[in-house]
Structure 1
Amino acid sequence: MNLFYNKQAVGDVAFLQIELANGEFNYEYKGDVVEIQHENKVVGFNIFNASQKSSIDGNGHIKLNETLVNELQTAIEEAGFTYKLDADFSPKFVVGYVETKEKHPDADKLSVLSVDVATEKLQIVCGAANIEAGQKVVVAKVGAVMPSGMVIKDAELRGVASSGMICSMKELDLPNAPQEKGIMVLSDDYTVGQAFFEE
């Protein structure tokens, strides 16, 4: 679940994205709230006059917390909708350990990785030339919003499932990021599963 807000650019509207979806959408309007559905499934809400209904502040991707989610839930219910928000507050950028690296069966420049992030093992397809088994790396988990605004989602790359992304310094918008391509390799001081950013 992701929340976007930019009062100066688009007005006092909170854009709550529950699921990524493409294609035709259906909209139901009740008061200041619009429920967005795709294939009979709720995928988002637009909440108008958001600053009057919540403590929302800032521009762009807004970090969710329990208070904000409860405020948005109240706004949704008071408008007459019954949908219950289910927020995941776990860190989305974490330290991972590359356990295995295998060649992609259908792409010379891609590797299929098994990456331990402590809570689970993820299969991630990666195109970086410097990725190797035994490295500690920064993993953007599904649901992470990159500094570019791109939302990480489950995907298939040339027929192989991929859940997450191994990040470079440039993709993380870190200072002094090298111009050459390649993922960021972490030192052994990092603990697998720890949040990479202070959240």
Structure 2
Amino acid sequence: MQITTYNNNGLNDVLMIQFQKMEATAQVPERNGDIVLIKSKDDGKVTGINLFKASDYLHGLTDGPVELEEEAVDKVNSLIAEAGFSIKLETETSPKFVVGYVTSCEPVEGSDHLNLTQTEVDNGEILQIVCGAANIAKGQKVVVARTGAVMPDGMVIWPGELKGIESNGMICSAGELGLPQEGKGIMVLSEDAEVGTAFSA
């Protein structure tokens, strides 16, 4: 998984690529030219890459989340290799926001508002997602932000745990998607919404 964001206003033409959630531990940068490899000081794992002067190498960048096409990924990979680093980016083509179908929904033990759902997102692929919305129910068509999605407010969806239960993704409300929120809770789609298709606001 990789999260790619372009920041021109705050960081002056930097493309930031995250491979995992940045924990509160120290990060160690290693720079060669315009490529900066970022590693966790604790275990040495690569947590991200920064590309400085990004607009010199890539065209059409705008502030915020970026989806790199194959040509752009190839360009960044060649820059990484020229800098002497062995890590490679992958082209990601699957949508991060998709129509899901809640196949089961059960209360989480010890919680007064959390529910554990199994939610189908594509051709039988089921995600376990903990949801705190009061209106979540089995049989609904919903919008799922998969892990790696960047929400309109900039929040990144990472794998996580709630009440010790693994959760992979988020079932979204209209407000979380930057849409008018007409009622409380998650956004429930019409019955004819096709599971697995990309959702765009």
- Name the CA distance, whole Å, in 1 between partners of 2:3 and 2:69: 11
Q: Is the 8 A contact 1:34 1:47 kept in 2?
A: yes
Equivalent position amino acid for 2:9 in 1:
Q
User: Percent identity of the aligned residues?
Assistant: 47
Provide TM-score, normalisation by structure 2.
0.92
- Name the CA distance, whole Å, in 2 between partners of 1:129 and 1:177: 15
Q: Is the 8 A contact 1:169 1:177 kept in 2?
A: yes
Alignment RMSD = 1.4
Gaps of 5+ in 1: none
Q: Is the 8 A contact 1:95 1:136 kept in 2?
A: yes
Partner of 1:123: 128
- Name the CA distance, whole Å, in 2 between partners of 1:165 and 1:57: 27
The total of aligned residue pairs comes to 196
Gaps of 5+ in 2: none
Partner of 2:188: 185
- Name the CA distance, whole Å, in 1 between partners of 2:57 and 2:122: 37
Cα distance, 1:56 vs. partner?
Answer: 4.8
Q: Map 1:1-199 onto structure 2 (within 5 A).
A: 1-22=2-23, 23-38=25-40, 39-119=43-123, 120-174=125-179, 176-178=180-182, 180-197=183-200
- Name the CA distance, whole Å, in 2 between partners of 1:118 and 1:12: 36
- Name the CA distance, whole Å, in 2 between partners of 1:181 and 1:24: 39
- Name the CA distance, whole Å, in 2 between partners of 1:182 and 1:158: 20
Q: Is the 8 A contact 1:95 1:191 kept in 2?
A: yes
After superposition, give the CA deviation of every residue in 1:69-120 in whole Å (9 maximum; x if it has no partner).
Answer: 1111111112221211123220010011001111101211100001011241
- Name the CA distance, whole Å, in 1 between partners of 2:34 and 2:60: 16
- Name the CA distance, whole Å, in 1 between partners of 2:83 and 2:60: 18
